[in-house]
Amino acid sequence: MDEFMQLAIDEAKKGRNEGGIPIGSVLVKDGKVVATGHNKRVQENNPILHGEMDCLNNAGRIGSYRNTVIYSTLMPCYMCAGTIVQFKIPKVIVGESKTFDGAREFMESHGVEVVDLNLPECIDMMEEFIKEKPELWNEDIMELE
């Protein structure tokens, strides 16, 4: 497995162990890790602190994002995809989109290359979480009734 995706998976597991949603992210520039992050909506009571947003926040100001790749264990939502497009991040590598199809078409329509690895480990991690905590998951994707 790609070392950067493994780091994203490790971040997702860290988030789950903290009582949060298991989604991890890694930002890579010129083949080197710039930052990692994971979904902290629950831990920090912050509705916009998705995995990608936490990762980018942890990266701080790096100037240009044009030579970066962002990894995420799950297909980014429209909020995170909008940030990816705004920052002109050219490539997103995701662990899976089976449990959440996210905003792939939106990113691609703005020139972002999206690679979906369809990894069983990522799918299993999210399916288990969704089964155990459906209300928390539905809150995260704004489907809570």
List residues with catalytic annotation. Answer: 52
3-state secondary structure of 18: coil
Contacting residues for 9 by C-beta, under 8 A, at least 6 apart:
24, 73, 95, 121, 122, 125
3-state secondary structure of 133: coil
Catalogue the long-range contacts made by 105-110 (C-beta closer than 8 Å, 24 or more residues apart): 106/78, 106/81, 106/82, 107/76, 107/81, 110/85
Whole-angstrom distance, CA of residue 87 vs CA of residue 83:
6
> What DSSP assignment string belongs to 82-129?
HHHHHTT--EEEES--SS--TTHHHHHHTT-EEEE---HHHHHHHHHH
